[in-house]
Amino acid sequence: MKKFEKSVRLNQLPDQFFASLAEKVTKRVSEGYDVINLGQGNPDLPTPVHIVERLQKAAENPINHKYSPFRGMDYLKEAVADFYKREYGVEIDPHSEVTILLGGKAGLVELPQCLTNPGDTVLVPDPGYPDYWSGVSLAEAVMYKMPLLEENGFKPDFTDIPANAAQNAKLMFLNYPNNPTGGVADEAFFEEAIQFAEANNICIVHDFAYGSIGFDGVRPPSFLQTKGAIENGLEIYTLSKTFNMAGWRIGFAVGNASVIESLDLLQDHLHVSVFGAVQEAAEEALTASYDAALELSLTYERRRNVLVQELRAIGWDVQAPKGSFFAWFKVPKGFTSSSFSDYLLKEADVVMAPGIGFGEYGEGYVRVGMLATEDRIREAAKRIDKLKLFNQ
């Protein structure tokens, strides 16, 4: 068959590191092995019933069988504004400061194409969510990686960013609670970030995907709660984690009106919004009781406690994450992140994601998803214990 060559833009995209891990896992499962997959970022629990029922009812309404308005339903934007007022005390204009996204990832990948030109700099966390890199590549911009070090609480040190990188930067990605480290941020950190952004005319993009998942009685703050945030950036929120709606592909961006307009303009050319019934279900999620989200966070906290307790009991000196549904653990001596991940899969049928897949500064760690039952987490620890990797 005749083969047509990919464009230069596609050939320049970063490798999908986790595709190879997924292939290894799929092969192992197909061979009949009982694999405990803690390497994924895919919520394992169902969407709350009241949200599903709203979708079912909305799907029967013929009005939703038509194209939705290009820029989303007004009722959903108003629900977003009400949600931010109720949960975070932030005033949002639903008409100019909200846009609807086909999942948070869409906005994160689109933003560099909205605000940067070829050669402009984008500041990205390292380790960080790999699809930040995809958006930068598609925009033909340049990445400057901000190290997230354990001694800094997995937050970037803005004073370490060279003046030329800061002056050339148009965008900066932040993400708290953090994927992959489980680190968290407070208002003081966001104030520091805004001061840095204002001094260098940088738009802050705060990826708030795990905003509902905080531990030990601490609720993660929204970036927009900080003075000057809306003037200097925006927040990307997805319903995937808060309400277990990962497969529904629905999220939104909230913040600076000029950036929202840029996102809307690009999406006018890419999409015709989201299926109306999904938008109704999203409205239901945002306006109904928040109890389901709080209970889900408590579920992850219980899993975290079991994970940390069981691994410490076998001699693995691990630190408990403070937010998100991920843990970030140092690998044993003698292993790289990839070799340890491969070893666990081959010898224990346990999957953990190698840290190198999240950036240069992810080397030496594995990311562990708390997306299995407590019993399966205990079983994973027992399997690892049999490998006798740790001194007890």
Quick one: average pLDDT of 330-351? 96
Residue 95 has pLDDT above 90, yes or no: yes
Q: Are 22 and 39 in contact (CB under 8 A)?
A: no
Q: What is the pLDDT of residue 20?
A: 80
Please report which confidence band the pLDDT of residue 359 belongs to, taking 50, 70 and 90 as the band edges: very high
Tally of helices (H runs) and strands (E runs) in the chain: 15, 12
Pair type for strands 98-101 and 36-37: unpaired
Q: What is the pLDDT of residue 392?
A: 54
Closest CA to 319 of 154, 190, 128: 154
Quick one: average pLDDT of 51-74? 96
| Cis previous bond, 332, omega within 30 | no
Residue 356 has pLDDT above 70, yes or no: yes
Calculate what percentage of the chain has a pLDDT beyond 70. Answer: 100
> From CA 374, how far away is CA 380, in angstroms rounded?
10
What are the extents of the domains in the chain?
A: 8-47+292-385, 49-287
At the topology level of CATH, where does 49-287 sit? Aspartate Aminotransferase; domain 2 (3.40.640)
Residue 281 has pLDDT above 80, yes or no: yes
Residue 285 has pLDDT above 60, yes or no: yes
Quick one: average pLDDT of 82-86? 98
Quick one: average pLDDT of 13-18? 82
Beta bridge partners of 100: 252
Q: What is the pLDDT of residue 191?
A: 98
Quick one: average pLDDT of 91-97? 98
- Look at 228 and 19; give whichever has higher pLDDT: 228
Quick one: average pLDDT of 285-295? 95
In this structure, of 1-10, 13-22, 342-351, 367-376, the range with the lowest mean pLDDT score is 13-22
- pLDDT tens per residue across span 176-207: 999 999 999 999 999 999 999 999 999 999 99
> From CA 128, how far away is CA 136, in angstroms rounded?
13
Neighbours of 13 (CB within 10 A): 12
In whole numbers, what is the pLDDT of the chain averaged over residues? Answer: 96
Beta bridge partners of 326: 369
Query: What predicted TM-score, i.e. pTM, was given to this entire model?
Result: 0.96
Please report which confidence band the pLDDT of residue 16 belongs to, taking 50, 70 and 90 as the band edges: confident
Neighbours of 340 (CB within 10 A): 22
Residue 27 has pLDDT above 90, yes or no: yes
Residue 257 has pLDDT above 70, yes or no: yes
Residue 18 has pLDDT above 80, yes or no: no
Calculate what percentage of the chain has a pLDDT beyond 90. Answer: 95
Closest CA to 367 of 338, 334, 333, 335: 338
> From CA 125, how far away is CA 179, in angstroms rounded?
10
Residue 17 has pLDDT above 90, yes or no: no
SS3 204: strand
For 8-47+292-385, CATH gives 3.90.1150.10
Quick one: average pLDDT of 19-47? 92
Please report which confidence band the pLDDT of residue 19 belongs to, taking 50, 70 and 90 as the band edges: confident
Write the DSSP symbol of residue 214: B
SS3 323: strand
